[in-house]
Amino acid sequence: MKQTASTCCYCGVGCGVLIEHDGQHIHNVKGDPAHPANLGRLCSKGSTLHLTGDLAARALHPELRLGKSMARNRTDWDSALGHAAEVFARTIAEHGPDSVAFYISGQLLTEDYYSFNKLARALIGTNNIDSNSRLCMSSAVVGYKRSLGADAPPCSYEDIEQSNCLLIAGSNMAYAHPVLFRRLEAAREANPAQKVIVIDPRRTDTCDVADLHLPLRPGSDVALFHGLLHLLLENDHVDHDFINAHTDGFEALQALVQDYPPARVATLCDISEAELRQAAELIGKADSFLSLWCMGLNQSSAGSAKNNALINLHLATGQIGKVGAGPFSLTGQPNAMGGRETGSLSNLLPGHRDAANAEHRREVADYWGVAGLPEQPGLSAIELFEAVRDGRIKALWIACTNPAQSMPDQQLIHQALSLCPFVIVQEAFSTTETCHYADLLLPAASWGEKEGSVTNSERRISHVRPAIPAPGSARGDWDIVCDFARRLEQKLRPGQPSQFAFARPAELFDEYKGLTAGRDLDYSGLSHALIDGLGPQQWPFPAGSRQGTPRLYTDGRFATADGRAHFVAEAPRPLSEPADSSYPLVLNTGRLRDQWHGMSRTGTAAQLFGHVERAQLSMHPQDMQARALEDGDLVSLSSRRGTLILPVQADAQLRPGQSFLPMHWGNRFLKGLGSNRLTLSNHDPLSKQPELKQAAVEVTRAVLPWQLFVLVEGDVQQRFAQLRELAEVFDYLSMGLVGRERPAVLLRAAAGQAPDAALLRQLDAACGLDTPQALSLEDSARQISKRIALDGQRIIALRLSGETLARDWLRKLWQDADDITDLRRWLLAPVATPPGVSAAATDKTICNCMNVSQSRICAGIEQGMQLEDLKRELGCGTQCGSCVPEIKQLLAKTAVPA
C-alpha cells in the first residue's frame, strides 16, 4: 500500500489528507498530521472520501451530439476538442468574442483557473468568465476591497484558538467547516474565558459553543452591526488612536449609527435589547476580537453592506492585524481563494486586479504578450444565464459546477441551457443535472487523480498531488483547456507560437505566479517544489522568502492607495422579497452535515444519507399547527417562481415565520428542479451575489393518497437513473441511497391516484421484481399492490404501492434480518400495522463513523449516560467528532432540569 499526501476536495478549511492506495485504487484516507490546517483531523465528509466517486457515476469518455434531439455518443479527444474549437472559432467570427462565455468553479485548482483565464481574456478576448464564487464569496470580495483595499482575509486559523471573543455570523461551521469547529471546541475547553457569540436566525449545531445566540430577523445583520457600533461608542469601547492613525470615513459612520439606538435595533432585528447590550459588552471588553462569517452574510441582496458593516466593528475597535483578532471570512469551496487570486470572476484579472482598471489590463496584457485585454465588462453568473436565455451567448463552457442545480430560479437556468446552441460541460460525474444539457461532455479527472495547487481560507497554499490515474480517458482540467486553446490558436492566429504550451501544472504555476509579484498577495517566491520542501505556505510569500505570512496589516498599513482602511457607512436594506400575506413564510436554505452541494460525489455513498436521507422542509411547530400539519405530511411549498412537493418536519430551532430547506436536493433527488426552483435571482448591486437565503413562500397540505415505496439493492447508479426516469409522472418524488454494507436505491413517491398498471410493471422490471419467484400481493379493488424479491432468506428488492404502512418495518427486515418468517406471516395478514413501525421511522444515523443511530443514543441517555459514557459505551463521537454537537443537543433535550 502506498500513501500520497494531498488535500480534501470539499470545503475551504483545506485539510491535508493522506491517501492510501495501490497505484490503481484508493482504499482509505486519513488526516495528515503534518498539515497545519487540520493537524490530522478530518470531518465526516473528508474521512469518507474513499467511499465516494462510484465509477458508474463518473464521466469516463468525451461524448458529443450534433443536434439537440440526438443522443450523445462517445468520441475521442481529438474529435471532441476539434469540434469545440471549430464551433468557438465560428461563433466568435460571426458574433464577436462576447458571444461565448465560461462558467467555472471555486473547486478548480489554481493552474486550471489560470489556463481558463488566459484562454478567455487573452486568446478569445472576452471578460465573460465568471464562476460559482459569484454565489458564494463575491460579497466578501467586495467587502474586503472596500474596507481594506484588497481581497485578503487577514487572519490565521490559530487566531480561533488565540481569540478572547469570537463572533460567528451567518455561518453554521459545525456542519460547513467542521474541522475548524473542532479546533474551536478544543479551544473553548482549554480556555473557559473565551466567549462566543453566534448570529443566525436558526439555532444551529454551531450554537452549541455559544455563550450568546442572537436569532436575528433574516437579513437584518447590517442594523445589528450598526447597533453594536452604537453601543461600543456609548460604552467608550472604540479605539480612537487606531481610528485616527489608520482609517478614514469614521465621522460619516458615527453619524449614521447614531440612528441605531438599542431599542430601535432590537425591533429591527427582532431580538431583545438585553441580548444586544450583552453582545456589545462581550466585544467591547475583549482583548482580542475575531469574527467568522459565511453565507448568512454573503448570500444577500445586502451582502456587501453586511460584510462592510462587520469589518467596521474591527476597524473601530482596532481589532485587526494582531493575534486572535480580525475579520475572517470562511471560504466555502476548497479553492475559492485561488479563483479570486487568478481573476476567476468576470470583473477581476489575475493577481488581484480589476478588469475595469486600464492600468491593470495593460500590466496583464504585457505579461501575456498580447496587444490588449478586452475593455467590455464581463457578465456575472445571473446576467450570464440571462444572456444565454436571450440568445446573446451562443456557446457556453461550464466546468466543475452544476448550475442546473445550484443557481437560483432554476426554471430560468434550465430554459437557458436548453436554448443555448452549444453547451460544453467539463465534469467529473456524468450524472449531474447540467450534464443533461451538454452537447459536448468532457470527462475531468477528480480528487485523488489531479495535480495542482489550492489556497484555503487562511491564505495557505497546498500542493494537491495525484494518487492514482484518472479513470477512462478523463484528463486534468488544465490539460483539457490548454489542448483546446492550442487548437483555437491555430484558427484565430495561425502560425504564431503557442501561449498554451504547458506540459505540467508546475509550469502553469510558475508562469502565473509572476502576475502576483508586487501585488498584495505576492507569492512569486513559491513553487510546487518549494511547498514540497517547506510544507503548505500562507501568502504573501514574495521571492526570496523562507516562510509565509500568518497575519496581514500588523503595522496598521492597509492595501489602499494611502494605506488607510475605509469605514463604509450604508443604511440597512430590506429583503428583496419580504414575506407578505400571499407568501407569509421566509425560506432559508443551507447545508447538511454529510452532503456536498449537488451531491454528485457524496450522493454516491449510501452511508452519507444516514444522517438525513431525503429532502424535508423544516418549519416551526406553531406554523405547522396553524396549517394542521404533522411530521411527515406532504406539503406544497410555493414561492413566486414555482412549487415543490415534499414532506414537512417540525423544528423548534427555527423561529415562527421561518422555514428551512437544505440546498442539496436537485432535480435528480427531488422532483420539480429541486430546492432552487423556489429561490430568487435578485442580487447585491455591487457583488452581484444572489439572495439565496431568503425567499417568500407559502405552505399548504398536498393531498396525494396513492403512495409508492421502492427499495432495491445492487447496481445502484443504473437503477437510480432508471427509477428516476420512470417515476417522473408522480406528483411527489424523492430518491436517495440507503444501507451501509449493501447499498440500495430508495424511491418514495405519491400521487392523487394510481398510475397505469403498466408503469408498475416497468418499475418492477427495473428492480428485478418481475420474476415469478417474487412474493406478491394484489388488492386491485383498493389499488394496493406489493412485491418483494428474495435471495434465499434475504430481501433484495421491494415495492409497496397504494398504501405503504409497512415500509419502515420491511426496511428493517431488509437491513437486519436473514429470517423471513415474520414476512411470510405479514403477507398472509398484511392489513395490520406491523410491529415496531413508528420507532424505526424516525431513526437516523447520528454518528456516521461508528454507525450509531439516534435511538441507541437516546436509549443511553434515558439510562442516565453522559457524553463520556455514550462515547465509551457506543463509540459515537470518538472518530471525526462531527456528531458531538448533535449528541450534546440530544443530551440537553432529555436532561432533567435541576
Ligand X SMILES: Nc1nc2c(c(=O)[nH]1)N[C@H]1C(S)=C(S)[C@@H](COP(=O)(O)OP(=O)(O)OC[C@H]3O[C@@H](n4cnc5c(=O)[nH]c(N)nc54)[C@H](O)[C@@H]3O)O[C@H]1N2
Residues engaged in binding ligand X (CB under 6 A) = 11, 45, 105-107, 132, 135-136, 169-173, 175-176, 199-202, 204, 218-219, 221, 294-296, 299, 332-333, 399-402, 405-406, 426-429, 432, 444, 446, 450, 477, 588-591, 593, 595-598, 600-601, 663, 675-676, 679, 692-693
Asked if 199 is part of the footprint of ligand SF4 (rule: CB under 6 A), the reply reads no
**Per-residue 3-state assignment (H helix, E strand, C coil) for 35-54:** CCCCCCCCCCCHHHHHHCCC
Report which of 454, 338, 446, 444 is spatially closest to residue 7, judged by C-alpha positions: 454
Complex with ligand SF4: residue 179 or 310, whichever CB lies closer: 179
Report which of 694, 699, 672, 670 is spatially closest to residue 682, judged by C-alpha positions: 694
What is the rounded distance in angstroms from the CA atom of residue 807 to the CA atom of residue 320?
56
Complex with ligand SF4: residue 52 or 299, whichever CB lies closer: 52
Residue 626, C-beta contacts closer than 8 angstroms, at least 6 positions apart: none
Pairing of strands 247-248, 565-566: parallel
Helix axes 821-828, 807-816, angle to 10 degrees: 160
Burial class (CB within 10 angstroms; exposed 0-12, middle 13-18, buried 19+) of 830? middle
Looking at 12-20, 118-126, 159-167, 363-371, which segment touches ligand SF4 (CB under 6 A)? 12-20
Looking at 281-289, 324-332, 398-406, 766-774, which segment touches Mo ion (CB under 5 A)? 324-332
Contact residue for Mo ion among 332, 343, 408, 672 (CB under 5 A): 332
Asked if 136 is part of the footprint of Mo ion (rule: CB under 5 A), the reply reads yes
Looking at 174-182, 265-273, 722-730, 857-865, which segment touches ligand SF4 (CB under 6 A)? 174-182
What is the rounded distance in angstroms from the CA atom of residue 548 to the CA atom of residue 550?
7
Q: 485 is in the binding site of which of ligand X, ligand SF4, Mo ion, none (Cβ under 5 to 8 A by kind)?
A: none
Q: Which residues face 736 on adjacent strands?
A: 746
Asked if 8 is part of the footprint of ligand SF4 (rule: CB under 6 A), the reply reads yes
Q: Measured from the CB of residue 428, what is the shortest distance to ligand X in angstroms?
A: 4
N- to C-terminal Cα separation, the chain: 54
Q: What is the CA radius of gyration of the chain?
A: 27
- Per CB under 5 A, contacts with Mo ion among 440-479 are none
Q: Measured from the CB of residue 110, what is the shortest distance to ligand SF4 in angstroms?
A: 17
Q: Measured from the CB of residue 11, what is the shortest distance to ligand SF4 in angstroms?
A: 3
Asked if 324 is part of the footprint of ligand SF4 (rule: CB under 6 A), the reply reads no
What letter does residue 135 receive in the DSSP assignment?
A: G
Is residue 739 left, alpha or beta, with left meaning phi > 0 and alpha meaning psi from -120 to 50? left
Complex with ligand SF4: residue 13 or 135, whichever CB lies closer: 13
Task: Tell me which residue has its CB nearest to Mo ion.
Answer: 332
Q: Measured from the CB of residue 43, what is the shortest distance to ligand SF4 in angstroms?
A: 3
Contact residue for ligand SF4 among 36, 62, 97, 178 (CB under 6 A): 178
Complex with Mo ion: residue 176 or 750, whichever CB lies closer: 176
Q: Measured from the CB of residue 616, what is the shortest distance to ligand X in angstroms?
A: 15
Residue 546, C-beta contacts closer than 8 angstroms, at least 6 positions apart: 534
Complex with ligand X: residue 441 or 800, whichever CB lies closer: 441
Longest dimension (CA), the chain: 86
Asked if 15 is part of the footprint of ligand SF4 (rule: CB under 6 A), the reply reads yes
Complex with ligand SF4: residue 40 or 621, whichever CB lies closer: 40
Q: Provide the 10 A C-beta neighbour count for residue 482.
A: 25
Looking from the CA of 827 toward its CB, the CA atoms found within 13 Å total: 17
Asked if 505 is part of the footprint of Mo ion (rule: CB under 5 A), the reply reads no
Q: 42 is in the binding site of which of ligand X, Mo ion, ligand SF4, none (Cβ under 5 to 8 A by kind)?
A: ligand SF4
Q: Provide the 10 A C-beta neighbour count for residue 505.
A: 26
Complex with Mo ion: residue 136 or 876, whichever CB lies closer: 136
What is the rounded distance in angstroms from the CA atom of residue 547 to the CA atom of residue 277?
42
Residue pointed to by grid coordinates 436565455: 389
Report which of 310, 318, 348, 296 is spatially closest to residue 246, judged by C-alpha positions: 318
Q: 46 is in the binding site of which of ligand X, Mo ion, ligand SF4, none (Cβ under 5 to 8 A by kind)?
A: ligand SF4
- In 8-126 the beta strands, taken as DSSP E runs, fall at 16-21, 26-31, 63-64, 73-74, 100-104
Q: Measured from the CB of residue 517, what is the shortest distance to ligand X in angstroms?
A: 28
Complex with ligand X: residue 444 or 686, whichever CB lies closer: 444
Q: Which residues face 879 on adjacent strands?
A: none
Looking at 10-18, 70-78, 563-571, 890-898, which segment touches ligand SF4 (CB under 6 A)? 10-18
Pairing of strands 100-104, 73-74: unpaired
Asked if 823 is part of the footprint of Mo ion (rule: CB under 5 A), the reply reads no
Complex with Mo ion: residue 171 or 649, whichever CB lies closer: 171
Asked if 337 is part of the footprint of ligand SF4 (rule: CB under 6 A), the reply reads no
- For the chain, percent helix, then strand, then coil, each to nearest 5? 35, 20, 45
What is the rounded distance in angstroms from the CA atom of residue 165 to the CA atom of residue 290?
6
Under 8 Å between Cβ of 511 and 114: yes
Q: 147 is in the binding site of which of ligand X, Mo ion, ligand SF4, none (Cβ under 5 to 8 A by kind)?
A: none
Asked if 38 is part of the footprint of ligand SF4 (rule: CB under 6 A), the reply reads yes
Q: Measured from the CB of residue 63, what is the shortest distance to ligand X in angstroms?
A: 14
Asked if 673 is part of the footprint of Mo ion (rule: CB under 5 A), the reply reads no
Contact residue for ligand SF4 among 5, 6, 10, 312 (CB under 6 A): 10
Q: 702 is in the binding site of which of Mo ion, ligand X, ligand SF4, none (Cβ under 5 to 8 A by kind)?
A: none
Asked if 179 is part of the footprint of ligand SF4 (rule: CB under 6 A), the reply reads yes
Complex with ligand X: residue 64 or 798, whichever CB lies closer: 64
Complex with ligand SF4: residue 292 or 425, whichever CB lies closer: 292
Under 8 Å between Cβ of 355 and 59: no
Q: 13 is in the binding site of which of ligand X, ligand SF4, Mo ion, none (Cβ under 5 to 8 A by kind)?
A: ligand SF4
Helix axes 716-726, 757-766, angle to 10 degrees: 170
Complex with ligand X: residue 524 or 848, whichever CB lies closer: 848
Contacts with Mo ion by CB under 5 A lie at 136, 332
Contacts with ligand SF4 by CB under 6 A lie at 8, 10-11, 13-15, 38, 42-43, 45-46, 177-179
